[in-house]
Amino acid sequence: MAEDLVLDTAIRDWVLIPLSVVMVLIGILRYFVSKLMRSSNQVPDPKMVKEGQVIIRARNLRAAANYIPAKSFRARRVYFSNEENGLLYVPKGQAQNAQAQMFSDPNMAMDMMKKNLSMIIPQTLTFAWVNFFFSGFVAAKIPFPLTQRFRSMLQNGIDLSTVDVSYVSSRSWYFLNLFGLRGLFSLILGEENATDDTQRMMQMSGFGFDPTKSLGAEKDSLDIFQHEWALPKFEQRAEAVLKKLVS
């Protein structure tokens, strides 16, 4: 069943390339629109900022703890994970509270809505457009062989069951572009661009209250950490360096 279909080069000229170009342009448009729509009341919540900074500091402590003497490390560890007023200690009751607050806070809800909308609407529109104009024919051939299970996903408009699964419709080209153009966008638009759909989708699925969880995580890893003062090693290394220098 391995017939080699010869695909018209007109497909390449009039389907694949325009589709990619259109997606890039829509992405750029979304980026600018999101910049314009960003609400001006970007006043950061003091608690959130402080928590973010605490996390950074705790992370630094863990990363470089071997460079400071044991006493200082222990003092800092107590400061962070002390049961009563340690910075990283978040009692369970507070954790639930925070999540509820996030849902009920109107501003935050609006912000998330806006972000979601700006992602969903262009995607839906483009998808509908692709389906309307570019369905019913084979658009491309995937270079590696696939199993039959992918047929329904990739060969949507093609109603022949004998065509090899490697021949896909333009819908799959659309999805390929959707996930693949992220790299291109980071090149063109810099790091923080609103087109990072895949990241956003992953964030949406894991809807946890970020700070509380990461605080707890930091506290646990800090508690586990074993301090091993690296400085004595440095003396020997300095000796070695000097020996090489002097000889």
Partner 1 sequence: MAFQSLTTPKSDLLLALKNGLCMNKWPVAAMDTQRLDMAKDYVKVLQEKFPESKRVGRLEALLLEAMGLWEEAEKAYSSLLEDNELDPVIHKRRVAMAKAQGNISGAIEWLNKYLEIFMADHDAWRELAEIYVSLQMYKQAAFCYEELILSQPTIPLYHLAYADVLYTLGGIENLHMAKKYYASTIDLTGGKHTRALFGVCLSTSAIDQLTKGRNKDDKENSQLASLSATALGKDYKQRAPNKVSLLASTLRSLKLSS
Q: Are the beta carbons of 161 and 6 closer than 8 angstroms?
A: no
Quick one: which H or E segment has residue 194?
A: none
CB of 234 to partner 1, least distance (A): 4
Residue 35 is classified by DSSP as H
Nearest to 151 by CA among 136, 137, 169: 169
Q: How far is the CB of 63 from partner 1 (least distance, A)?
A: 8
Distance CA 19, CA 134 (A): 9
Closest CA to 33 of 126, 127, 107, 115: 115
CB of 46 to partner 1, least distance (A): 6
At its nearest, how many Å lie between partner 1 and the CB of residue 111? 18
Q: For partner 1, give the closer residue by CB, 40 or 148.
A: 40
Q: Which residues pair with 141 in a beta bridge?
A: 167
Applying CB under 8 A, the residues found at the interface with partner 1 are 43-44, 46, 49-50, 53-54, 56-57, 60-61, 63-65, 67-69, 72, 231-232, 234-235, 237-239, 241-246
Q: Return the number of the residue (89 or 127) whose C-beta is nearest partner 1.
A: 89
Residue nearer to partner 1 on the CB measure, 56 or 202: 56
In this structure, what token pair is assigned to residue 92?
Answer: 């369970």
How many other C-beta atoms can be found within 10 angstroms of the C-beta atom of residue 214? 18
**CA 212 – CA 90 distance, rounded (Å):** 7
Distance CA 98, CA 70 (A): 35
First to last CA, the chain: 75
Choose between 137 and 229: whose C-beta lies nearer to partner 1. Answer: 229
Q: Which residue, 24 or 54, has its beta carbon nearer to partner 1?
A: 54
Which CB atom, from 28 or from 90, has the smaller least distance to partner 1?
Answer: 90
Shortest distance, position 24 Cβ to partner 1, whole Å: 29
Min separation Cβ 230 and partner 1, Å: 8
